[in-house]
């Protein structure tokens, strides 16, 4: 299953890492281990944030994915299932059936 992991880093933790020249190298090390499909960086609620798109086959993978961010940056993590257009196309029959039954 494709998921988006949202990683919010507290400002103070990120600032300490940036001042110690560890922010970029630590992020790169974590991403090298996780091998995401895509990563986007932005500010969210005033915090450094990474949106990491990756494949997860089982929920037991959550600790493997989240712990490095928790430990390195005291980050807040959330997971959201996401789809690409091909996934949405596969879901078309189920959407049509639900619309016919409940719409």
- Tens-place pLDDT, residues 35-85: 999 999 999 999 999 999 999 999 999 999 999 999 999 999 999 999 999
For 77-97, what is the mean pLDDT? 96
Question: Which among 30, 22, 84, 21 has a CA at the least distance from the CA of 52?
Answer: 30
Q: What domains appear along the chain, each with residue ranges and CATH number?
A: 2-102 (3.30.70.120)
Residue 40 makes CB contacts below 8 A (sequence gap 6+) with 50, 51
DSSP, collapsed to helix, strand or coil, labels residue 77 as: strand
The model's pTM = 0.91
Q: What is the mean pLDDT of the chain?
A: 97
Cβ atoms 69, 75 nearer than 8 A: yes
- 96: confidence class by pLDDT, cuts 50, 70, 90: very high
């Amino acid at each position: 299953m494709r998921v988006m992991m949202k990683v919010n880093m507290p400002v103070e933790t990120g600032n300490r890492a940036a001042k110690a020249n560890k922010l970029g190298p630590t992020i790169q090390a974590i991403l090298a281990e996780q091998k995401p499909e895509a990563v986007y960086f932005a500010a969210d609620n005033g915090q450094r944030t990474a949106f990491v798109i990756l494949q997860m086959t089982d929920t037991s993978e959550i600790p493997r994915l989240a712990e490095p961010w928790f430990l390195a940056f005291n980050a807040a993590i959330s997971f959201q299932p996401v789809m690409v257009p091909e996934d949405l196309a596969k879901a078309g029959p189920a959407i049509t059936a639900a619309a016919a039954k409940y719409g």
